[in-house]
Chain A
Amino acid sequence: AQTVTQSQPEMSVQEAETVTLSCTYDTSESDYYLFWYKQPPSRQMILVIRQEAYKQQNATENRFSVNFQKAAKSFSLKISDSQLGDAAMYFCAYTGTASKLTFGTGTRLQVTL
């Protein structure tokens, strides 16, 4: 069974600074996708960024980028130029051949002035 681990329950970053959220996963599959989802308080979960396992190039979406280390089974999220609106729960998630998502326990990101 696949597992996703987020070891940082909470992180804090100052506005305009950079923060990195960690995620590790375990799988025996070779073909899979990894995601970071953002869940603001009382709001729906939205996709931040996704990475296809067969692509060596790290995905980037504006201020969000990932560091995908396939051999180490690590998938961290870097948020640059942090904004107050980035404050939320961030979930790392995995999907493979089963097509369902397996989530980590989440990291609560606080953004301070």
Chain B
Amino acid sequence: DTGVSQDPRHKITKRGQNVTFRCDPISEHNRLYWYRQTLGQGPEFLTYFQNEAQLEKSRLLSNRFSAERPKGSFSTLEIQRTEQGDSAMYLCASSPLKGGRYTEAFFGQGTRLTVV
């Protein structure tokens, strides 16, 4: 078990470009979450998947953001036409089903996005 893996760790992009991040959850974890963390703040929920189904999206997730989890394994988060306000750490987490509940989240190291 290698933990939650995110790629890339850092991304610098010019405003207006598209970027895509990848998350590989812990194997057999059904739930996968994306969070965004800006400097000095706690992570904010963006969206989550149960297997391949995207079950909830936050209001924070504008129509420039799209996430997928094909085949219920890894997930990608794409941001189109990036803006400077998108600069943040993007965190992925996965959760196992335990006792009928998804309660514990295991986080990856995050992808730090800088939009210049």
Contact = CB atoms under 8 A, between A and B. Distances in A.
Interface of A: 4, 33, 35, 37, 43-47, 50, 91, 93, 95, 98-106
Interface in B12-42: 31, 33, 35, 40-42
A105 B108 CA distance: 19
Contact of B43 (A33, A43, A98, A101): A101
B45 A101 contact: yes
B41 A99 contact: no
Interface stretch (B61-69, B72-80, B98-106): B98-106
Given A106-B41, A106-B42, A44 B56 contact: no
B45 A102 contact: yes
Contacts of A98: 56
Contacts of B45: 100-102
A100 B103 contact: no
A103 B104 contact: no
